[in-house]
Chains A and B, each alone.
Chain A
Amino acid sequence: MTETRQPALTVIILTRDESRHIERCITSVRAIATRTIVVDSGSRDATCDLAAAAGAEVVTHAWTNYAQQFNWGIDHAGDNGGWTMRLDADEVVSPELAASIAAFMASAAGDVAGATIDRGMHFLGRRIRWGGMFPTKVIRLWRTGLGRVENRWMDEHVVVDGAVVHIAGEITDINLNSIGWWTDKHNGYATREAIDQLNRAVTSASGDMGAEARRKRWIKDHVYARLPLGLRPLLYFGYRYVILLGFLDGWQGLAFHGLQGFWYRFLVDAKIAELRRLMAQRGQDLATVVADEYGYRL
């Protein structure tokens, strides 16, 4: 932080019913954000009031999917002549990260378009350290105008045009909701992931999503996608839980790797098989079956 004017940083947060988390989230970027925009899709709790009271600008926009909602937020925000950051409501920016973002924005070379940031996670109150999951490196900060979220239904990354560097500090996902809420959310994710895997129209985005995300996406598209449905979640779980030592994370780790590593991916496979069966039985295409069964419009 220098004596010169603070660089413009717009933080965009998508919300729906996030009253448990939104204040904590906004507070964690207060020192560095020049503008915080909360794009809400119809919260029925106090999210909007809490966000406004915490100093955010609250706008409402109907939900289609994360990518479209976020890109709408980018367009709504307009050009600030500086930087844009993606943050989820249940995440917090560490003080170290806030300091390194300030230093990075003040000194970044002209050809640097974005930054990857470490993302950690807590599950059932415990930090997940093993299983090779965390911290992941994700692009969350970019020069306004040079980054967008790729248009997918699931697992969407920010892609930027230009060089990407890594900066110190961490974004930590600390969701305080129950495991029932988590299960509900992942049931929804599994439907969207199944749609993405069946929908051949999904093309890889152009632009950079960061080396780690690129590597993981390649493995998913070229290795995981070719393994048999039902078997691949078991192999993936074994890899995470045994080889990458996920069992060292205690009972919370067993729950996390068992549910997020195995169950979630098994459910995706079950839904892929079910959607295929319904398409064959009814002689309908994917879009029709998905609209009838799950109400999604592709």
Chain B
Amino acid sequence: MTLTVIIPVLDEAAHIERCLASIGTLAARVLVIDAGSTDGTQDIARRMGAEVLHHAWSSDARQVNWAIDTAGITTEWTFLLHADEIILPGLAARLADLDALPTAPLGFTVVRRLHFLGRWLRRGGLYPERTLRLWRTGHGHCEDRLIGERMIVHGRVGHVAGDIAAINTRNIGWWTDRYNANATREALAQLHDGWPSGAVGGVPVGIRAPAVTLWRYFVRLGCLDGWEGLVYCVLQTGWFRFLVDVKKREVEALMVERGQTLGTVAQNEYGIRLIPLATNGG
């Protein structure tokens, strides 16, 4: 029992029990970082034996880093899991025997399976996708990005052969809401990174999203994932990226029209505070 699992949540009553059940008795501590759920998530988590800590949300990255910095984690290892994910039995077996891992790496990737509309998407370049989720306590932190953040260790990274699965059971209307908000954050993050709209690498913005969609669907064989694969490819790859590009242009137009900085437009139009925001996690 040398493991702590961190789970950031907001209104995850639909998933949290399943998530915690998949951890079982693997972890000495399970920390559910709640951003103010109103659907009873906290009660379910406590009943399942997790510790519930409250921290106001400003980004997923900051929820994770807040837990890393302030929750007093003393176990040798820390693992990041999201509420709509589960640890599959193969990975659980590896996590039960952490002493068997090679000693040099500071962090380890695992494989993430993505389910969409009830189907595991194996094609389109979506599987196997490695993501760093396990690290030696004290050596891992999350990139301070508005969206699309990844865990970072300053040292060698190994791999644990085992999978987690993201199986969100909510409907596509909810998903659209979530990705609409994500697109705003992604657009602001890209502009803040000094990546304006307009042609990128010679590819006009309007072409980029459809091009990536066709690549994933035909070249990476997303077409073999059935209807669910088509919907994912069109919405997540095509629409989402297209929307990000449109929002970047919209934000740029507002900055010019109002004579305001990026930070002011982000705050006034979208209620998002950009500053201070480092993007490389340094």
Contacts and interface: CB of A to CB of B under 8 A. Distances in A.
Contacts of B172: 267, 270-271, 274
Contacts of A294: 171, 173
Interface stretch (B22-30, B71-79, B231-239): B231-239
Given A230-B227, A277-B117, A179 B250 contact: yes
Contacts of A178: 247, 250, 269-270
Interface in A87-106: none
Given A179-B243, A187-B176, A258-B242, A270 B235 contact: yes
A277 B231 CA distance: 14
Interface in B148-199: 171-173, 176-177, 180-181, 183-184
A180 interface: yes
Contacts of B118: 277
Interface string A251-283: 100110011000100110011011001100000
A184 interface: yes
B206 interface: yes
A19 interface: no
B122 interface: no
Interface string A182-221: 0110011011000000000000000000000000000000
A278 B172 CA distance: 12
Contacts of A179: 243, 246-247, 250
Nearest to B239: A263
Of the listed residues A188, A258, A267, A270, the one surrounded by the most CB atoms of chain B closer than 10 A to its CB is A270
B112 to A, nearest CB: 23
A124 interface: yes
Interface in A117-150: 124-125
Nearest to B117: A274
A251 B206 contact: yes
Nearest to A269: B231
Please tell me the size bucket of the interface on A. 20 to 34
A111 interface: no
A198 to B, nearest CB: 14
Contacts, number: 77
B230 A180 contact: no
B53 interface: no
Given A180-B180, A180-B270, A270-B231, A191 B246 contact: no
A263 B239 CA distance: 7
Given A125-B253, A274-B117, A274-B171, A187 B180 contact: yes
Nearest to B242: A258
Given A178-B270, A183-B180, A230-B227, A191 B173 contact: yes
Contacts of B181: 180
A293 interface: yes
A270 B224 CA distance: 17
B249 interface: yes
Interface string B108-125: 000000000110000000
A101 B263 CA distance: 46
A271 B184 CA distance: 23
B121 to A, nearest CB: 15
A114 B217 CA distance: 50
A259 B246 contact: yes
12 contacts: A179-B250, A180-B184, A230-B230, A251-B206, A255-B246, A259-B239, A266-B235, A270-B231, A271-B171, A271-B173, A273-B231, A293-B173
Interface of A: 124-125, 178-180, 183-184, 187-188, 190-191, 230, 251, 254-255, 258-259, 263, 266-267, 270-271, 273-274, 277-278, 293-294
Question: Which 4 A-B residue pairs are closest in the complex by CB-CB distance?
Answer: A187-B176, A183-B180, A255-B246, A254-B206
Interface of B: 117-118, 171-173, 176-177, 180-181, 183-184, 205-206, 227, 230-231, 234-235, 239, 242-243, 246-247, 249-250, 253, 269-270
